[in-house]
Amino acid sequence: MRRKLLVILVLIAIAVIVAYATSSGKFDWALFGKTLKDMNWLWLIASVVLTYVTYLIRAARWQVLLEPLKKIGLETSMTATLVGFSAIYLLGRAGEPFGALWLTRREHIPFSASGATWVVQRFLDLSMLGIIFGVTLIFLELPAAEGRRQLGFMRNFATVLIIALVAGMIAMVTFRSNIDRIVALVPFKRVAAFLHGIAQGLAFLHERRSVMMTFFHSSLLWIVITLQFWFMILALNLNFSLLAATLVMVAAAIGSVVSIPGVGGGFQVAMVFCLVTFFGVTTERSVVAALVAYALSYLPTLGIAAIYMMLTGLSLKDLRGLETT
């Protein structure tokens, strides 16, 4: 099992490099090597440490969301978090539900409920991202002329995004408050049971403490994520301010919606576009930075997940079994 996992991790790293080396037809390996050699390892270590802190905060937040359904330990929610994100990196967006499936299997929580809490987390993350995006655009001055010309469009996009997120939050509260009426109108028992399970996953909305703690964890999480990404940018010797690094982070996060298993894709493309268009970084250096940044984003996750699997005896076969849960 350990050898298989090691082989998979190595193949993923090779796949990322090969994908970029073959996509452009010409890859400056000297620049790639120099970027790795010249990295600031203190900033890099700080970034990796904060990466692990983000998973701890995510696990604590998931505990709060699940509390109205079932009290679970921090270790359990951490496992579910690592399983979910490792699956995303390995399988692309198809791996999204794996964390919720893990909880369903281990804690016997209905998937409609555990899945609802996972969706809520993603919604909260998107909400925080939208707020950060809007605030960044207010205070950031873009150095590249092309970026300044697109600033108006970006602000309009951020405004629409925030309005849509507010509407989504109102819809969730309304759905949870009127679940009995909604279920009564559904003629199919399985559909009604599924909707009721989703409402169970939104039970935290009716407890003031749970709502406050959820938003506290979400705010703290994205402060740490922003710092983690900034430290990673500084490790790559890109002398960016916190606001500049935040804009790159938002672009990469939006791009990561399109994800090729084990390779990424959208993350790197969006990051390259942002660096070139808004900050005037050369295309070649931007590609190298995006490649290294993505590797630094997912390797710590897979690394800690692999260590956990070895310590607990969890196998890849167990994870594959989640698909049939």
Give the separation between CA 64 and CA 72, rounded to whole angstroms.
9
Structure-model confidence comparison of residues 171 and 309, the more confident one: 171
Give the separation between CA 293 and CA 290, rounded to whole angstroms.
5
Give the separation between CA 222 and CA 138, rounded to whole angstroms.
18
Residue 3 pLDDT class (50, 70, 90 cuts): very low
Q: Where are the beta strands (DSSP E) in the chain?
A: 259-260, 264-265
Which residue type is seen at 104?
T
Number of structural domains the chain divides into: 1
Q: Are 221 and 68 in contact (CB under 8 A)?
A: no
Residue entry with tokens 């490792």: 86
Return mean pLDDT, the chain: 76
The stretch 124-141 carries a mean pLDDT of 85
Distance of CA 264 to the CA centre of its chain: 12
Range of weakest confidence among 149-158, 279-288, 314-323: 314-323
Residue 2, pLDDT above cutoff 60: no
Q: Are 302 and 1 in contact (CB under 8 A)?
A: no
Residue 318, pLDDT above cutoff 60: no
Please count the residues of the chain. Answer: 325
Range of weakest confidence among 29-43, 139-153, 237-251, 272-286: 139-153
Instruction: Decide: helix, strand or coil at residue 260.
Output: strand
> pLDDT at position 191, please?
74
Classify the C-alpha dihedral 118-306-291-59 as positive or negative: positive
Q: Are 284 and 35 in contact (CB under 8 A)?
A: no
Structure-model confidence comparison of residues 278 and 199, the more confident one: 278
Distance of CA 107 to the CA centre of its chain: 24
Other Cβ atoms less than 10 A from the Cβ of 207: the count is 14
> pLDDT at position 325, please?
46
> pLDDT at position 14, please?
43
Q: Are 61 and 206 in contact (CB under 8 A)?
A: no
Give the separation between CA 13 and CA 70, rounded to whole angstroms.
38
> pLDDT at position 88, please?
75
User: Which residue, 314, 301, 318, 307, is CA-closest to 86?
Assistant: 301
Which range marks the domain in which residue 174 is found? 2-324
296-299 own/partner pairs: CB under 8 Å, 24+ apart:
296/44, 296/47, 296/48, 296/232, 296/235, 297/51, 297/232, 297/267, 298/12, 298/89, 298/264, 299/9, 299/13
> pLDDT at position 29, please?
67
Structure tokens of 21? 């080396």
Residue 259 pLDDT class (50, 70, 90 cuts): low
Residue 144 pLDDT class (50, 70, 90 cuts): low
pTM over 0.75: yes
Query: Model confidence over 223-255: pLDDT tens digits?
Result: 999 999 999 899 988 889 999 999 999 988 888
Residue 11 pLDDT class (50, 70, 90 cuts): very low
Give the separation between CA 234 and CA 224, rounded to whole angstroms.
15
